[in-house]
Each structure stands twice: as C-alpha cells, then as structure tokens.
A = this chain, B = another copy of it.
Amino acid sequence: MSMDAEWVAVDWGTSNLRAWGMGPGGEILFARSSDRGMGKLAPAEFPGALTALLADDFAETGPRVGVLICGMAGARQGWLEAPYLDAPADLGALAFGAVAPEMTGMRFVPKILPGVCQKLSGAEDVMRGEETQLLGLSALLPGFSGAVIMPGTHSKWAQLDGRRVERFTTAMTGELFELLRTHSVLRHSLGGDLDGPGREQGLEAGLAAGIAAPEKLSSTLFKVRAGSLLSGRQPDWCAGFLSGLLIGAEIGGQRDWLDGNEIPLIGGPALCALYAKGLTMAGASSRIIDATEATLAGLKAARAQE
C-alpha cells in the first residue's frame, strides 16, 4: 500500500464486484475484483464483501473514503434500492438520485447510483449500470448524439443526446444464447469444440440469416439442429451460427434505430467485434469502446456531480 486512494469507484453487477482506487487527479491507484456479485449476496452481506475486497488497500482507521457504486447493488434485491430515474432522463443529475446504505464500523462511505427506467406502457424497460456507461460515453465523446449499443447478457440499445437518455430497449440476446446452448434441443448440436475453424463461417451465415429475417427467429433457430442432422454441420459451425443468428436478429429487428451515424458499441472487445461485424453487414458503421473505460468515466463524471 503506497498512498491511500481518495475515493473508490465500484461496479457491482449481478455476477461480479469490481473496485478501483482513484487518486486525486482521477488516476487509478489499484484495481480489485471478486465474484461476490449481487446475485450471491443477502443485503446484510454487502458491507462485508466490500470491506474484504478493500482490506489490503486501506488501514482500518484514517480519513473517511467515499465509495461510489453503480450497478445491481442498487436493485430491489440488492444492498439498498436506489429508485430509478425515469427516461427521458438527464444523466447530468445521476448522482442526485444516489442512496447511502448504512455501513458502520469502517471508514467507507458508500453511495449507490440509481438505474434508469422507462415506464411507457408496452415499452417498459430498466437498466442498472449501463446508465453509468452512457454518462461515461458522454464524457468520452463530448456532444455525441445518436444510438448506442451495449452488447451483453441483456443488450441495451439507447438513444442518447449529450447526457440525456431519450429512450432505450433491452434484447435478451446473450441470455438466449446461453439458454439455448445449455438447456435446449440445440445443445445436441453444440457439444464439443466450439472454437474450431467453422465458427467464423457459421457466424457469418447466422448474422446474414438474422439480419435478413429477424421476424423468423424462432424458426430459424431450429436450423441449427436440422443443419447438424442433415448437412453434417459441426459444433463450431453451429455455435457460430446460433450466436450470429441471435445477434443478427437483434440488429435486424431494430433497423429503425440505425440512423447513419457511427454507433458506439460499449462492451467486451470480443462480443463487440461480433456486433460490429453484424452492423457492417446491415450497412451501419460502429466503434468499440471498452466497457470498463466507459464505466470508470461514468463513475468519475458522477463523482464530479456530488
């Protein structure tokens, strides 16, 4: 431990907990992570999980340290519910919606940022964590206005205008892939080496099929099984096709969001590269922005609002 961080930036998701110690100039002094995500914790276990994660970086006593948290820790089933901001929402006021859970006996002063919801009947939607990435994007690309895609287990598509989230929607693409790969009849076609040379070819065929006919997703899915039974498609091809089909159908079904601008893709580089390929096939250009970079930029911007 060299110097104490001035504050701690935390991304507390469903599966993972990540923290960064921030210096006075915004520099990262340390990074910690654990698998103690919201999904594994009862409310009373959050303080202990945070303390354990930061134990090596702070002495037990010293000046109080602000901990700014985004993500699922603020869900109803998380540490303490941080009520959603309503979309259209001004992310310039994100920190004003933060809640402060109790944490006695330690020097940390935690605050949890709110998520954003959309109450429009028939278009109800929620996000927690992505709003912080969007705030980060507005800092990384000042003045940006347009559609943003955040690929993931639940992909978010948001219409951003500066720091204002106009509207957004969630596609269950990543979760559908995992469900189908693990539990459906398609699993019989997806056992074995999924990363063979056929994967890329399957991906391209799947992207093309999904983009061309997103309305036929529930029937095109079965082509994975039939293709392996009849055409000898191997598991690597099938995995690529399934992934491409789901991403392609997500993109093809939301063509009305593609406005001709270069679309920021916020997420992990490998997954974003699949979306970038699909967007190119759909006639749209994109740029990839690392999810961690966007989250940190967002937490910094929210910290500056306090």
Interface membership of chain A positions 247-279, coded 1 if the CB is closer than 8 angstroms to chain B and 0 otherwise: 001101110000000000000000000000000
A251 to chain B, nearest CB (A): 10
When C-beta atoms are compared, the residue in chain B nearest to A246 turns out to be B218
B179 contacts A226, C-beta separation under 8 Å = no
**Which among A1-9, A101-109, A208-216 touches the partner chain?**
A208-216
Copies per assembly:
2
A207 to chain B, nearest CB (A): 13
Complex-state Cα separation, A280 to B298, whole angstroms:
49
B249 contacts A154, C-beta separation under 8 Å = no
Complex-state Cα separation, A252 to B219, whole angstroms:
12
Complex-state Cα separation, A215 to B170, whole angstroms:
14
Interface residue? A289 (CB, 8 A): no
Chain B residues with CB under 8 Å of A222's CB are 125, 154, 169-172
Chain B residues with CB under 8 Å of A252's CB are 215
When C-beta atoms are compared, the residue in chain B nearest to A252 turns out to be B215
Chain B residues with CB under 8 Å of A170's CB are 219, 222, 226
Interface residue? A133 (CB, 8 A): no
Complex-state Cα separation, A218 to B221, whole angstroms:
12
A175, A215, A223: which has the most chain B beta carbons within 10 Å?
Answer: A215
Interface residue? A28 (CB, 8 A): no
Interface residue? A140 (CB, 8 A): no
Given contact pairs A172-B218, A175-B184, A183-B183, enumerate 8 new A-B contacts (beta carbons under 8 Å): A117-B229, A124-B229, A125-B222, A125-B223, A172-B184, A179-B180, A215-B249, A217-B218
Interchain residue pairs with CB less than 8 A apart (28): A76-B229, A117-B229, A119-B231, A122-B205, A124-B223, A124-B226, A124-B227, A124-B229, A126-B225, A154-B185, A169-B219, A171-B219, A171-B222, A172-B184, A172-B185, A172-B219, A172-B221, A172-B222, A173-B218, A179-B183, A179-B184, A183-B183, A213-B253, A214-B215, A215-B253, A216-B254, A217-B249, A218-B246
